[in-house]
Amino acid sequence: MSLILTEIKNRVGFITLNSEATLNSLNLSMIEALTTVIETWKTSEEVACIFIQGAGEKALCAGGDVRQLYDNIIAQRAIDPTQVPAGCFDFFAKEYALNYAIHTYPKPIIVWGHGIVMGGGIGVMVGASHRIVTERSKLAMPEITIGLFADVGATWFLNRMPSAYGVYLGLTGARLDAADCRFLGLADYYMESTEKQSVIDALVGMKWSDAIEKQVDELLATIAKKYVVAASQAAEHQAFISHFEGVTTLGEFRTVLNNYTPKDSWIEAGLQSFEKGSPSSAHIIFRQLKEGKDYTLAQVFQTELNLACQCCIHPDFAEGVRALLVDKDQSPKWQPATLEDVTDGWVDSYFTPLWTKENHVLKNLGKTE
């Protein structure tokens, strides 16, 4: 079974992430195949725009195949725990290069963000030019719960959210629905999922001109204007989120989160996720977002690759995956165990460069060929 299905109809390139049993989670083979397709179509006269969807009705993409990354880490630890597992390096380097390619693609990319869209799925969706969410869209960046960090370009898109929503979402992995995504700039259009075939039929029936992006804009806007998105929970919590705007340390963030009253279910869920998550992840996410505010898109993916590979050397990522997906005991033993136990030196070690700028595998991002 092919994990990526492709088809071209009337200059519309259709891509389906085809692993319904795993909620279309990305593995290395899928990333490589997806990269090959969009690179081929970039200069092809046969393709005017691209439409990306997930197989089935449950998910566009529930993230990356972290279980495979876990296996790579455990195997590498038996050989030399100080070295980045080759499989992990390949996965993250190629995933981030793909994310960058989507962000900078010269043709319209339409993403049908229906169902679960998490982690690596957000990486596929957020950089696209035309992002559609539905009544069943559920987005999140829950990496703190597995000892990772908000990646796939989150340094870029979280820092571009209003108020302090970016740091809050990065540190809590709060779940977002369609209304939240529209409010926070993660999606461009809301429509009911029953409109999917209408969108596809209209694209396939389009008489393409030279103004392809305008045609796609007008088509999707015409369909979306039939619908009014519901109230956003995130928007309704603006007063709460504003309390984090002046926060300069992780300790201050925690104090505000714990002391804020009254706490409703949305705030309580964020608090519980933060407190149960990896203390190391909390520290590196906070620093990542603070240091990366002014990074170029290329710098974002270059620095995130270093962080991702460092997470594969440090203990918490594998431990988080073990607790969630391997032993499934839901009781990760974080090292260090508390926020207070994490030293500045420990945080620095995550940010220690693994390569020089000259030999960084993503060094050519953003450079014209």
Active-site amino acid positions: 64, 120, 143, 151
Please give the backbone phi and psi of residue 244, each rounded to the nearest 5 degrees, phi first. Answer: -95, -5
Which residue in 54, 301, 281 sits closest to 155, CA to CA?
301
Pair type for strands 130-133 and 12-17? unpaired
Give the up-direction half-sphere exposure of residue 63: CA atoms within 13 A in the CB hemisphere: 19
CA distance 333 to 70: 15
Dmax (CA) of the chain: 62
219 CB neighbour count, 10 Å cutoff:
18
268 CB neighbour count, 10 Å cutoff:
11
CA distance 125 to 63: 11
Q: Tokens representing 309? A: 């590979």
77 CB neighbour count, 10 Å cutoff:
16
